Chains A and B, each alone.
Chain A
Amino acid sequence: MTALARTASGMPAITYNFAYLDEQTKRMIRRAILKAIAIPGYQVPFASREMPMPYGWGTGGVQVTAAILGANDVLKVIDQGSDDTTNAVAIRSFFETTAGVATTTRTRDATIIQTRHRIPEAPLRAGQVIVYQVPIPEPLRFLEPRETETRRLHALSDYGLMQVKLYEDIARHGHIATTYAYPVKVAGRYVMDPSPIPKFDNPKMDDSPALQLFGAGREKRIYAIPPYTRVVSLDFEDHPFAVQAFAEPCALCGAKGVYLDEVILDDKGGRMFVCSDTDHCATRQAEGHTGSMSAPYGEGQP
């Protein structure tokens, strides 16, 4: 609890609670989370707080994590699949500072994984919680900007707008032009935005043993997928949902069937593809897997 006591100069003294948020706020967020779990895929409004990082930079995910975090949890934070991207580093160090919890980069060692834009390649297990940072929770937002209207559409399960949009994509481009934040239907009821993960990751959400929580701070919404819930990506019979496939394996660990980052090596068209999930790649390299551009293991490792 922030003390209102004043310093000698008369200015309020500045102190913070475990994991930053006061306990009352955490209770409010937990109630929203419980409701979200009870109604899979439904966006529960919650009284999102101002956080000490900007809106749009993970405030929703940070609030969810702060509300569920206990002293014995082990936290992993990724952005774009990597533990070492700047925003992941900033959020991890926020919880190290305010909660003093243990952190890890190992997917399997973490009890809570906060993520932006990816789901780890290693399958999640029961007991783990994955917390997604969500910029725009409303899957219908770009089809209908009005909240009053989209809430009505959800209430009526009226998802015709979305089907029409996907159909128009096919008519215009020959493909469904949505490659990330690809809409899913949860437990046969609510159409949900999976956050801007590539659609490559969508199948990992289906029937996952882990609890999946979604926090949108600026838009003040929390939603959830309980463990072992059916999650279906929207599609058409003649245009079934399909994920991206990469032509070559990871250049460092040789992994196939994983999501790859394209790295531009020079200005002459040189490029390589490497695992987006840095923990997955490092683990495989440690196990002795190599790729086309691997150095012998141990070289070039920090």
Chain B
Amino acid sequence: MYVAVKGGEAAIRNAHALLAQRRRGDASVPEIGLDQITGQLSLAVDRVMAEGSLYDRELAALAIKQARGDLIEAIFLARAFRTTLPRFGASVPVDTGAMRVRRRISATFKDLPGGQVLGPTFDYTHRLLDERLATQAGDDADRTAAETTTSARPNVPPLPPAGEGWGGGTAPTPDASPAGEIPAPSLPSSDRTRLLPSSTPETEAGNIRLRSGRGFTGARVHTSGEAAEAPAGPMPRVTDLLGDEGLIEPAPADDGTPPRDLTREPLSFPADRPLRLQALARGDEGFLLALGYSTQRGYARTHPFVGEIRFGEVEVSLHAEELGFAVPLGEISVTECQSVNQFKGSATQPPQFTRGYGLVFGQLERKAMSMALVDRSLRFAELGEEKSAPAQDEEFVLSHCDNVQATGFVEHLKLPHYVDFQAELDLIRRMRAEHAAEAEAQAPDVAEAPHKEAAE
């Protein structure tokens, strides 16, 4: 006697209860707080905000916690919440030229107005697991580490007392953001202990050795000796500097057309550049990284330079009709990458560099750079280049860059498909029977075949 499988409902309930238990982990270990996630896993928070298209550090942290650290799952949670939010307007375009910069580097110029600002970066760190972080002594261990490092280098003065400036004291304090709905991210305290004053530039085999820490202004430090100078004053974008000489194509003029909204209308092709950039901005970091990488390896090579990467806070404001002017809402952290790529010119136009553009929430340089590479290769038609590679194919790139869509459809293969599979079974059995019958007709010796079939 056979009873059809029942009990899906109870099984699901139990599975979810088990999930909740596993998410919590060992109950004797304190539960992780959202402040710990926003503070100490801030780059994970950035990624969830960027690909979740929702700028809210706390919600992103909640999503990460609920998703047990599975970032694509967390991005999915953020998206599913975001989609229900009402829209009350679109902001005025943010001005990254007016960014309160925490990091800014150019690979195309040794020195430039505003200098090179390393800021908090993994660049130049030795990727050695630091066992001091394994203890829960936290800040203390970190501070000791910083001091040890400092004292091992006789020509670097000791740390300044806490709070005594960010490399000279003239820089704006990152926490001094205007009050707004969007909480300004605060610098984790571990960064503060690592700040090093920059009185003595170090050189090594003729190269400038850049040390992590706000206040170091890289090449500017070296050439001017104004070691303690903070990145104050204007910091024009590299592309604007090149643009003054006409060496690079101008940024497309704003003709006032409101950009299409990917989240409010279905994606259709051909997609214009604003729409492509929207899709890339929320696209999967890994997918864009691989595509960008492929362009470097010859699949639609575009000869890129990193004109500039800058990370910091920009003001978001909304044009209020009743008031007739834009009202600031708060600040967001963004990373912008402008790539400078090989030329374009024609009989009527002198040769110019071309651009690729990347802009993402938070400090996500890898993503911003990949985005700029892919943006540039998607512009092949406009720039009169030949189409030869996946990274140029907008249908391919845009249809597959969204990881929430991708993971859903890949994982849906877990759902039951037994109705369809039954249909396939039926057909393949029929075809095999016919095949066997034919074989039998041709060679009567193999008459066993159809019988074996039945027991399969």
Contacts and interface: CB of A to CB of B under 8 A. Distances in A.
Nearest to A259: B419
Of A10, A11, A148, the most chain B CB neighbours within 10 A belong to A11
A161 B402 CA distance: 29
A80 B405 contact: no
B434 to A, nearest CB: 6
B8 A274 contact: no
Contacts of B431: 173-175
A147 B434 CA distance: 38
Contacts of A76: none
Contacts of A146: 395
A271 B351 CA distance: 74
Contacts, number: 176
A198 B84 contact: no
B12 A46 contact: no
Contacts of B455: 269
A117 interface: yes
Interface in A128-155: 135, 145-148
B9 interface: yes
B427 A177 contact: yes
Of B268, B415, B416, B425, the most chain A CB neighbours within 10 A belong to B415
A80 B419 contact: yes
A33 B317 CA distance: 37
A298 interface: no
Contacts of A299: 1
Interface range on chain A: under 10, 10 to 19, 20 to 34, or 35 or more? 35 or more
A54 B79 contact: no
B266 A46 contact: yes
Contact of A252 (B2, B84, B266, B423): B2
A177 B427 CA distance: 7
Contacts of A181: 420
A22 interface: yes
A293 B1 contact: yes
Given A45-B266, A54-B412, A56-B408, A198 B2 contact: no
A164 B212 CA distance: 64
A55 interface: yes
A91 B399 CA distance: 26
Contacts of B80: 50-52
A260 B422 contact: yes
A234 interface: no
Contacts of B59: 11-12
B62 interface: yes
Contacts of A59: 408
B52 to A, nearest CB: 9
Contact of B86 (A4, A11, A199): A4
Give the top 4 A-B pairs by smallest Cβ distance, nearest first: A55-B408, A56-B412, A54-B408, A179-B423
Interface of B: 1-9, 11-12, 56, 58-59, 62, 76, 79-86, 183, 263-270, 395, 399, 404-405, 407-412, 415-420, 422-427, 430-431, 434, 455-456
Interface of A: 1-2, 4, 9-12, 14, 16-17, 20-22, 24, 45-52, 54-57, 59, 79-81, 84-90, 93, 116-118, 135, 145-148, 173-175, 177, 179-181, 196-200, 218, 220-221, 244, 251-252, 259-263, 265, 269, 272, 274, 276, 278, 281, 293-295, 299-302
Given A54-B404, A180-B419, A281-B4, 19 more contacts: A2-B86, A11-B58, A47-B263, A50-B80, A54-B411, A57-B412, A86-B11, A89-B9, A90-B12, A179-B426, A244-B423, A244-B426, A259-B419, A261-B422, A265-B2, A272-B2, A274-B2, A276-B419, A299-B1
6 contacts: A2-B84, A47-B263, A84-B8, A86-B8, A244-B426, A259-B419
